[in-house]
Amino acid sequence: MTRIVVIGQGYVGLPLAVRAVEVGFEVVGYDTDKRRVDLLQRAKTFIDDVTDAQLATMLASGRYRPTADATVLAGFDVAVVSVPTPLRDGVPDLSYVKAAAVELGPHLRTGCCVVLESTTYPGTTEDVFIPLLEAGSALRAGRDYCVGYSPERIDPGNPRWTLKNTPKIVSGLDERSLDAVVGFYEQLVDQVVPVRTIREAELAKLLENTFRHVNIALVNELAMYCHGLGIDIWSVLDAAASKPFGFMKFTPGPGVGGHCLPIDPSYLQWQVRRAVGSNFRFIDIANDINDHMPDYVVTRVAEHLNRRYKAVNGSSILLVGLAYKANSGDARQSPALEVARRLADRGALLTAVDPLIDPQQVPPFVRVVPLTTEHVECADLVLVLTDHDALDWSLLERWSARILDTRNRVRSAEAERL
């Protein structure tokens, strides 16, 4: 039986481990976070896309072993590295990628295959990851074992596009490596997309998210101008989206968040600056606009309250949604939390409704409450920041005159929209 090691059991690695077990592989799910491993060993999930029942089935099959013991990595046929690559002071932090390579190196064996999935800048796999793999082994990439890069495309909470039906970019160090990577992922996903070089695959991932980041910035800035002009941005977007070619609809909001958009374009920016000594101007502009959106939302809150002779200081504000996107409990880099911090700094009394978010991710100055008539009645303003489908929107619409909706979810002419 083919033995798979997945290093990193988070939003990317865990769904991959689930899929690998489903198709019949023996899977070791390695993570240095012992608390996370303990949860997995007890069939307790911590991400939206994997259920407790799925984990229980995996464990019962005997083909899934979550562990924090690096010695269990030995004897793998395929190892996939899906660890975080955060930014530290604007510089890519590859410490987790490096640590994974160091752990894997001593366990390399002839004929095995290693794939990096972590988002990173072009050159990481060949210039950083492979040398560290080989520092712990006499084997050489391309000659003795295969190496590839396949960027993750996980969209947490998206029921339509999953790991299985989202096309998977794959690349290899050489032709034999590419064949091995293609052969592995063809068993997991419906479609693989081979790319000629590893660097091209690494850059493709950054381009995908930079494209989205820039276009969100475009509509965010347009939303601010439309408010000043007295034009409904949402109506404008719907009208433009009727064009069947040459236009892709993006929508404004309180900012960008999650594990990709606030980070990936800055990886590209960092490399462009390092390689050619200048900035990628679109990224600079997009960062400036999207980073400013929480401040703009707070300004709109103040305007709304001022019209009713109230100040932000001392006002009770009910935040609807704290996660970075709808139908997900993921609060990483969430703009909703940035809005909350700015409102708290101005003296607002904050409560929040979010049925999906882990309470441990909520800052202490925000009190989480259920969505009830009482809590809506007590609020001076209801601020919609994340539009989860599970929320009772009809209840909110009854109080729409006191709503500022940044997501265009409240269907009432009385509600104020971004």
Does 328 map to a domain? yes
- Looking at the structure of the chain, the number of domains it has is 2
Note whether 14 and 87 are same-domain residues: yes
Q: How many CB atoms are located within 10 Å of the residue 44 CB?
A: 12
The last residue of a domain, from among 169, 196, 223:
196
Given the residues 112, 226, 260, 378, the one annotated as active site: 260
Query: pTM for the whole thing?
Result: 0.92
In this prediction, residue 36 carries a pLDDT of 95
Task: Please answer whether residues 319 and 368 qualify as being in contact, where contact means their C-beta atoms are separated by less than 8 angstroms.
Answer: no
- Residues 283, 162 within the same domain: no
User: Tens of pLDDT along 331-380?
Assistant: 989 999 999 999 999 999 999 999 999 888 899 999 999 999 999 999 99
| Residue 312: exposure state from Cβ atoms within 10 A (0-12, 13-18, ≥19) | buried
The predicted-structure confidence for 84-141, as pLDDT tens digits, reads as follows: 998 888 788 999 999 999 999 999 999 999 999 999 999 999 999 999 999 989 999 9
C-alpha to C-alpha distance for 14 and 80, rounded to whole angstroms: 11
DSSP 4-54: EEEE--STTHHHHHHHHHHTT-EEEEE-S-HHHHHHHHTT---STTS-HHH
Question: Which pLDDT does position 364 carry in this prediction?
Answer: 95
How much is the pLDDT for 89?
A: 80
Does residue 23 lie within any of the structural domains?
A: yes
In a domain, 205, yes or no: no
DSSP sequence for 176-204: HHHHHHHHHHTTTSS-EEE-S-HHHHHHH
CATH code at 398?
3.40.50.720
- Per-residue model confidence (pLDDT) at position 264: 79
User: CA 5 to CA 336: how far, in whole Å?
Assistant: 36
What is the tens place of the pLDDT at every residue in 188-220? 999 999 999 999 999 999 999 999 999 999 999
- Could you say which of 162, 196, 230 is where a domain stops? 196
Q: Do 162 and 239 have their domain in common?
A: no
> Number of C-alpha atoms within 13 angstroms, CB side, residue 374?
2
Q: What is the pLDDT of residues 370-395, one digit of tens each?
A: 999 999 999 999 999 999 999 999 99
pLDDT per residue as tens digits for the range 32-65: 999 999 999 999 999 888 999 999 999 999 999 9
Is the pLDDT higher at 277 or at 41?
Answer: 41
Please indicate, yes or no, if residue 206 is contained in any of the structural domains. Answer: no
Judge whether 260 counts as a catalytic residue. yes
